[in-house]
Every structure is written in C-alpha cells, then in structure tokens.
C-alpha cells in the first residue's frame, strides 16, 4: 500500500469539489463521534451514553430543587424532630437520584435510537459521497443514499450488528474491540456499493479485506497526526476545512485499493476451488498380480 499515492489521489478529488467535501466531512465527523478531531469509528453506544450524561447535567439543578420541595413537604409529617428530618432528607435524595437515573436512561435510549436509525445510515451515504467523488465531483444528494431504494432496514441492521459486535468485544479489556473496529473498517463502504448486502457477508468481506492490513490502516490514520495537532491549536479550524475531508477522501481511496486487491484474491481462490482433483491411481497388490497371471495361464 502506497500512502503517498493514496493521499495524492485524495487531494485531487477533494480539491475539485472542495466545499461539498468540507460540508460532508463535517457531518460525518459529527455523526461518527469524531469530535472534529479524529477518524470515524464505531462509537454509537458511547455517544448515547454521553448524550444521556449531558442531558442529566442540564436538568440536575432543576431536579435538586424538586427534591428540596419534597423535603419541605415531608417535614410536617415527621415533625421537627431529628429523625423526621433525616427520613425526609433520605426520601428527597432517593427521589432525586431516581429521577436523574430515569432521565439518563431515556436520554441513552434516544441517543442509541438516533445512532441506529439515522447516524449509521447517514455514515453510509457520506462514505458513498467520497467514493463517488474519487472519480468525478458529485452532489450532496449521496448523503441520503442509505434511506433510498427500499434498503434502509438492511443498512440499519448491518450497522447495528457491526456496532454490537464491536461493543461486545470491547468488554474484553478494550483491545479486542479496537481490533474488531479495524476488522470491520470497510463495512460502511461495502454497504455504500451494495446496500442489500447481508450483514454476515458484509462483516466477513471486511474481515478478509483487512486481514494482514490492519497495521497499514492504523499507520495511515497515524500519518494525519500532525494535521490533528495543528487542528487542535487552531480550535479545530484546520480539521474542519482541511484535515477531515482530506482524511476521509484518503480512506475512500484506501477502500478502492483494498477492493481491487480483494477482487484478485477472490478470483485466485475461485480458480483454486475449481481445479479438478487428481484421481488417485488404484494400488496394484501382489495378490492381484498373481490372480491376473493365473487367469492368463488358464
């Protein structure tokens, strides 16, 4: 894999459709949880949790005020005694904690639903945009590709299963989850070219395409580190207007390269499977030779 060649091709494609690439890259960075400063990853479950945590922080003060009201209402029941005050405080705290937990769970559920039914589908459209833009400038209509043609539910299913597997593997000390995220690196691109692809087939194809190349993908992403640092210094301005679209365009070129390599692998494998198996010659034993000789003498 020639990183310099891939980046040069990405620059050409990116520059000739600059503003749309910037816009689509910004959308892709937001929906994949890249925070405008890292490459796209499988973070839908984490995103849902973060949304829930933020939502709870906004409403925490209001809920504490409600708890104080509960405390004031409970005080007359127990009187002004010390025991009554402790029971009232405990009740108020319990109610407040319960309300906050419910809010967090609801926010997490909403965040996950948005991720499954909207975010993953938009990601497929964004990947298709950069794939098609490699050949010629395309319009932003590609973003809605995952919602069209009656394949929406399949795109949702494949994206959900991919993220679910990565999440489950992440429970094993994180590292296996990172490996799986690279193993399923091309799933969104595969759906961008064939949105009716079965999820098992999509995961299997991505696994085969990345076999022996995960380190190369990591190094390619790492090669943008300097741009990322510059982006952080400039309050993400460099990332928005250069690094993100540049990197996403390069990743699209990487997929196209990997697809050609994978096609050759499949053709070679097919030829090997179709080769006729040589039939083993029957063994001639001494007994068989002796019987044949007797029949000839007779």
User: Which one, of 19, 43, 274, 238, lies nearest residue 159 by Cα?
Assistant: 43
291 within some domain = no
Range with lowest mean pLDDT among 82-96, 171-185, 271-285: 271-285
Mean pLDDT, residues 136-141: 92
- 110: pLDDT strictly greater than 80: yes
Identify the pLDDT of residue 61: 53
Calpha distance 198→68 (Å, rounded):
54
Identify the pLDDT of residue 66: 53
Convert the pLDDT of each residue in 9-64 to its tens digit.
999 999 999 999 999 999 999 887 754 444 434 444 444 444 444 544 555 455 55
170 within some domain = yes
Give the whole-number percent of the chain exceeding pLDDT 70: 71
Residue 51 near residue 107 (C-beta atoms within 8 A) = yes
Mean pLDDT, residues 86-90: 78
277 within some domain = no
**79 phi/psi in degrees, rounded to 5:** 80, -170
Residue with tokens 């050949």: 135
pTM value? 0.73
Identify the pLDDT of residue 174: 85
User: Which one, of 97, 88, 152, 92, lies nearest residue 120 by Cα?
Assistant: 152
Residue 257 near residue 1 (C-beta atoms within 8 A) = yes
279 within some domain = no
How many domains is the chain partitioned into structurally? 1
Convert the pLDDT of each residue in 141-164 to its tens digit.
999 999 988 899 999 999 999 999
Residue 48 near residue 111 (C-beta atoms within 8 A) = yes
Q: Provide the pLDDT confidence category of residue 78 given band limits of 50, 70 and 90.
A: very low
- 251: pLDDT strictly greater than 80: yes
Identify the pLDDT of residue 182: 95
Range with lowest mean pLDDT among 75-79, 209-213, 263-267, 276-280: 75-79
Residue that wins the pLDDT comparison between 212 and 80: 212
Calpha distance 238→230 (Å, rounded):
7
292 within some domain = no
192 within some domain = yes
- The DSSP code sequence of 130-199 is HHHHTTS---GGGGGGGGSTT-HHHHHHHHHHHHHHHHHHHTTTSHHHHHHHHHTTTHHHHHHH-TT--H
- Those residues with Cβ within 8 angstroms of residue 47's Cβ, 6 or more apart along the chain or in another chain: 33, 111, 115, 119
226 within some domain = yes
- Residue 56 token pair: 């709870």
User: Which one, of 51, 55, 62, 173, lies nearest residue 115 by Cα?
Assistant: 51
Residue range of the domain that includes 219: 3-265
Convert the pLDDT of each residue in 119-130 to its tens digit.
999 999 999 999
276 within some domain = no
């Amino acid at each position: 894999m020639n990183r310099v060649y891939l980046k040069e091709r990405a620059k050409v494609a990116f520059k000739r459709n600059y503003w749309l690439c910037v816009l689509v890259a910004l959308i892709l960075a937001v929906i994949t949880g890249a925070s405008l400063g890292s490459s796209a990853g499988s973070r839908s479950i984490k995103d849902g949790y973060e949304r829930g945590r933020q939502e709870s922080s906004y409403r925490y003060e209001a809920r504490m005020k409600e708890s104080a009201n509960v405390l004031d209402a409970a005080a007359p029941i127990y009187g002004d005694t010390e025991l009554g005050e402790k029971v009232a405080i405990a009740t108020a705290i319990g109610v407040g904690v319960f309300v906050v937990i419910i809010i967090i769970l609801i926010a997490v559920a909403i965040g996950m639903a948005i991720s499954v039914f909207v975010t993953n589908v938009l990601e497929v459209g964004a990947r298709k945009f950069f794939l098609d833009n490699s050949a010629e400038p395309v319009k932003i209509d590609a973003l809605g590709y995952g919602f069209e043609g009656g394949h929406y539910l399949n795109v949702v299913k494949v994206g959900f299963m991919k993220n679910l597997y990565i999440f489950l593997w992440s429970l094993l000390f994180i590292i296996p989850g990172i490996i799986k995220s690279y193993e399923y690196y091309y799933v969104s691109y595969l759906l961008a070219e064939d949105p009716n692809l079965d999820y098992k087939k999509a995961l299997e194809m991505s696994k085969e395409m990345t076999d022996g190349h995960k380190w190369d993908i990591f190094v390619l992403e790492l090669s943008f580190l300097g741009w990322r640092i510059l982006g952080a210094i400039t309050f993400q301005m460099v990332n928005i207007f250069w690094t993100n679209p540049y990197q996403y365009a390069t990743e699209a070129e990487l997929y196209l390269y990997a697809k050609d390599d994978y096609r050759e692998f499949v053709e070679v494998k097919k030829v090997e499977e179709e080769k006729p198996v040589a039939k083993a010659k029957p063994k001639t034993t001494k007994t068989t030779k002796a019987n044949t000789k007797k029949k000839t003498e007779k």
